[in-house]
Amino acid sequence: MIEDMKALYPQMSKGQKKIADYILSHYEQAAFMTAAKLGAAAEVSESTVVRFAMMMGYEGYSEFQEAYAGQIQERLSSPRVSKTNIYRDNHSEILKGVLVADAQNIVDSIHLVDSALFDQAVEAIEKAKHVYVVGLRTCAPLAQYLGYYLGVIREGVTVISSMNVSEIFEQLQWIDHEDVLIGISFPRYSLRTLRAMAFGNERNARLIAITDTEYSPMNMYAAIKLWAKSDMVTLADSLVAPMSLINAISVALFIRNEEKVRKNLASLEKIWEDYQTYAPDDLSSGEE
* The listed CATH number (1.10.3720.10, 3.40.50.10490, 3.40.50.620, 3.40.250.10) that belongs to domain 91-271: 3.40.50.10490
Predicted TM-score (pTM) of the model is 0.70
* Domains 2-80 and 91-271 equal at CATH topology level: no
For the stretch 64-100, pLDDT in tens is 888 877 776 665 554 444 454 555 555 556 777 788 8
Strand locations in the chain, DSSP E?
Answer: 131-134, 157-160, 180-184, 206-211, 224-227
Q: Which of 216, 210, 179, 2 is nearest to 109 (CA)?
A: 210
Q: What number does CATH give the domain 2-80?
A: 1.10.10.10
- Mean pLDDT score across all residues of the chain: 85
For the stretch 122-143, pLDDT in tens is 999 999 999 999 999 889 999 9
- Give the Cα-Cα-Cα angle 148, 150, 154 (nearest 5 degrees): 125
pLDDT at 274 over 80: no
Cα 264 from Cα 155, distance rounded (Å):
10
Q: What are phi and psi of 88, to 5 degrees?
A: -60, -40
Per-domain residue ranges for the chain? 2-80, 91-271
Cα 210 from Cα 184, distance rounded (Å):
5
